[in-house]
Amino acid sequence: MSILSIIKVGGKVVEETASLQKLLNDFVKLPGFKVLVHGGGRSATKISEKLGIETKMVNGRRITDEETLKVVTMVYAGLVNKNIVASLQARNCNAIGLSGADLDLIRAVKRPVKDIDYGFVGDVVSVQTNEVSKLIADGVVPVIAPITHDGSGLLLNTNADTMASSMAKALASSFSVNLVYCFEKPGVMMDQNDEKSVIKELSFDEFKKLQDNGTIVEGMIPKLDNGFAALDSGVKNVIITNTNGLAGGNFSGTILVK
């Protein structure tokens, strides 16, 4: 079975030119087939401010009202996505920019209102990989923005970590999948101020203990929830790392284990 590396990049890595260029240099050198899933929240926040649109966050998650949906669609599926695609083309990597709406790739439903109304945020319900699998097998590199659709014409803002996990699970029957969450830290750390405190291997039970005692917090929680879900669904390897952990495809950082 052919190796497929799905790299999800977010945070400062995708927002800052130097770190993004380093990531793409390492990304194009990865062996086997490749997919890049990206965020772009900081860029969306900056452009919202320029347009006079207030950014509302709850527990690190963006509230996506109608105007914010327009901004994130433009920024994620437009500006950020096409900048990455152009940068990959400059490296002789034949990339194609996609959102969940393209090729009917990822359908979602608008998140129901419970304690919080997240607005036009989508929860993934299905992934259709027939067409994208053909592109990957032909050597094309999909670059996927975190915008989905509901099948009735409505676009939705969907968590990029979830997008990457959903893609990895759906493609695990066709490829030997490595799912790598790449951000500014070298992995999951016992001490957030000490980058030498990276946990080399992490099981689900250990994750829950560290979440309960406050060691693992905020944005790392959905990464790990999605990562363990992928591992349970046939994804071969799930790694949390930074750009340094990609070099040569010998992934280093925190490896999730069953």
How much is the pLDDT for 234?
Answer: 95
Q: pLDDT (tens digit, 9 = 90+) per residue, 75-85? A: 999 999 999 99
- Which of the two residues, 108 and 247, has the higher pLDDT score? 108
Note the pLDDT of residue 192: 86
pLDDT at position 209 over 90: yes
Percent of the residues in the chain that have a pLDDT greater than 90, as a whole number: 80
pLDDT value at residue 218: 79
In contact, 235 and 217? CB cutoff 8 Å: no
| CA–CA separation, 135 and 74 (whole Å) | 24
For residues 213-241, average pLDDT: 92
pLDDT at 12: 83
Name the CATH superfamily for 3-257.
Acetylglutamate kinase-like (3.40.1160.10)
Q: Mean pLDDT score of the chain, rounded to an integer? A: 94
| Least confident stretch, 1-10, 86-95, 199-208, 219-228 | 219-228
Q: What is the pLDDT of residue 15?
A: 83
Q: Distance between CA 26 and CA 215 in Å, rounded?
A: 30
Determine whether 193 is exposed, middle or buried from the number of CB atoms within 10 Å of its CB (0-12, 13-18, 19+).
exposed
What is residue 168's predicted lDDT score, i.e. its pLDDT?
97
Half-sphere exposure of 76 (CA within 13 A, CB side): 30
With cut-offs at 50, 70 and 90, classify the pLDDT of residue 160: very high
Q: What gap in Å lies between CA 13 and CA 149, rounded to an integer?
A: 26
For the chain, percent of residues with pLDDT exceeding 70: 100
Report the pLDDT value the prediction gives residue 245, as an integer from 0 to 100: 87
Residues 111 and 193: their CA atoms lie apart, in Å, by 35
What is the residue whose two structure tokens read 């000490």? 194
**Residue 156 pLDDT:** 98
| 100-126 b/e (C-beta count within 10 Å ≥ 16 → b) | bbbbebbbbbebeeeeeebbbbbebee
Q: How far apart are CA 177 and CA 233, in angstroms?
A: 11
pLDDT at 42 over 90: no
Given a contact cutoff of 8 angstroms between Cβ atoms, the answer to whether 19 and 10 are in contact is no
Specify the pLDDT at position 188.
94
Is the backbone of residue 236 left (phi > 0), alpha (psi -120 to 50) or beta? Answer: alpha
